[in-house]
Amino acid sequence: MALPQKESSPIFSDATAGTLRLIAYLALAAILMVLDHRNGWLHRVRYASAAAIVPIYKIAAAPADWVHDASTAFVERRKLIDENRQLQESLLLAQARLNRMDAVSQQNERLKQLLDTQHLLGLHAQLARLIDVQLGPTHDRVMLNVGADEGVHVGQVVIDSHGIMGQVIETLPHASIAMLVTDPDHAVPVMLARTGMRGIAHGTGEADQLVVPNLPLSSDIKPGDQWVTSGLGGRFPAGFPVGTVTKLEHGPSGMFLEALVKPAAQLARSGEVLLLRDQPDPVGPPAPAPQVGPPASLAPTTAHASPASPARLANPNPPKPATAASAGATP
């Protein structure tokens, strides 16, 4: 029986080879570290390898950077949109406030003109404000914010700082309706300021025109003359501007002239008006006349001088009393 032959084992087994490789690698690493520490030979290798690896890092990080930039851009855009909207709102609000301040300034100027008119003329007037305007081909009327409870009555004259606007035709508890001078049913006794010629100014239904009919053909009137209230009838006080002559025309019959007049009052722009109160008539006896006498320089200066009696003033040369001799004498 043949005996099995023993297999020859290798001098270096796999475990031994692995150990030797490890030792060799460690020795090589130690040598490289010593050389790098002393001479810096591996610095250029690391620098070159880093330069080659950095683009790889950037490419790897690019998606994250893109996402971050996109989110930042979206947030910034949203922030800019919100800020732009807020700025637009602030601008609109500032513009609205500026417009309101301008309107308030104009309103204050109109009120100042009304008060100046009231103080200048010494009028007893009541301030009112327009709350509604009713303009049409058949009537021109406005509604005021004061009424019967505030002392307003029918027939009260309405003026602005430029002239006659109309008169009150209806009163409510806290409002009143005034007919404008341009209403076809309205008429004002007027007088030409330059010559004193009288007439009646009628409304035409147009917002900027009155007419004074039945003027003689020989009338001394021309465009630019001013009509004022004459005071006739007792409704409108005398002297208030009514309008200015713009054109002269022949009447329908051809025997008279008609004067077209532009109203003096700012009918389309006035927001505040004055209601004239009735002027009270004087009551009681007239004031005594001033005493009449000689000048102070001719008055007696002596202490014993007595003032002349009424009889002596009436007859400065009174007849002498008759004596006894003269009574018995014959003529």
Backbone φ, ψ for residue 18 (5° rounding): -65, -40
CA distance 81 to 73: 12
Q: What is the mean pLDDT of residues 75-102?
A: 80
The answer to whether residue 321 sits within a structural domain is no
51 and 134 housed in the same domain: no
160 and 220 housed in the same domain: yes
Backbone φ, ψ for residue 182 (5° rounding): -85, -5
Backbone φ, ψ for residue 280 (5° rounding): -70, 140
263 and 136 housed in the same domain: yes
**Which residues 6+ apart lie within 8 Å of 125 measured at CB?**
118, 159, 274, 275, 276, 277
pLDDT(66) > 70: yes
CATH number for position 154: 2.40.10.350
pLDDT(281) > 50: no
Helix (H, G, I), strand (E, B) or coil at 331: coil
How many structural domains comprise the chain?
Answer: 2
Give Cα separations from 215 to 164, 210, 211, 232, 256 (angstroms). 22, 14, 11, 17, 5
Q: Is 195 exposed, middle or buried (0-12, 13-18, 19+ CB in 10 A)?
A: exposed
pLDDT tier at 315, thresholds 50, 70, 90: very low
The token pair at 125 is 């007037």
143 and 261 housed in the same domain: yes
Q: What is the mean pLDDT of residues 79-95?
A: 83
Domain boundary, last residue among 58, 89, 122 = 122
141 and 61 housed in the same domain: no
User: Read out DSSP for 161-223?
Assistant: SSSEEEEEEEE-SS-EEEEETTSTT-EEEEEETTT--EEEEEE-SSTT-EEEEEEETT----T
The answer to whether residue 307 sits within a structural domain is no
The answer to whether residue 316 sits within a structural domain is no
Q: Are 237 and 252 in contact (CB under 8 A)?
A: no
Q: Are 126 and 272 in contact (CB under 8 A)?
A: no
Which residues, in sequence order, are bridge partners of residue 134?
141
Q: Are 202 and 183 in contact (CB under 8 A)?
A: no
User: 171 vs 77, which has greater pLDDT?
Assistant: 171
Q: Are 265 and 165 in contact (CB under 8 A)?
A: yes
Backbone φ, ψ for residue 171 (5° rounding): -120, 140
The answer to whether residue 215 sits within a structural domain is yes
User: β-strands 226-229, 272-276: how paired?
Assistant: unpaired
Backbone φ, ψ for residue 55 (5° rounding): -60, -35
* Mean pLDDT score across all residues of the chain: 77
Q: What is the mean pLDDT of residues 84-89?
A: 84
When mean pLDDT is compared across 79-88, 193-202, 281-290, the lowest value belongs to: 281-290
Identify the residue whose tokens are 């009143």: 176
pLDDT(184) > 50: yes
41 and 91 housed in the same domain: yes
Task: Single out the residue of 212, 223, 160 nearest to residue 188, CA to CA.
Answer: 212
Helix (H, G, I), strand (E, B) or coil at 122: coil
Domain that residue 107 falls in: 19-122
pLDDT for residue 110: 67
Q: What is the mean pLDDT of residues 301-309?
A: 42
Domain boundary, last residue among 102, 122, 142 = 122
User: 43 vs 3, which has greater pLDDT?
Assistant: 43
Q: What is the mean pLDDT of residues 139-162?
A: 91
254 and 129 housed in the same domain: yes
User: Read out DSSP for 210-263?
Assistant: EEEEEEETT----TT-EEEE--TTSSSPTT-EEEEEEEEEE-TTSSEEEEEEEE
181 and 95 housed in the same domain: no
CA distance 188 to 211: 10
pLDDT for residue 289: 46
Q: What is the pLDDT of residues 230-254, one digit of tens each?
A: 989 888 988 889 999 999 999 888 8
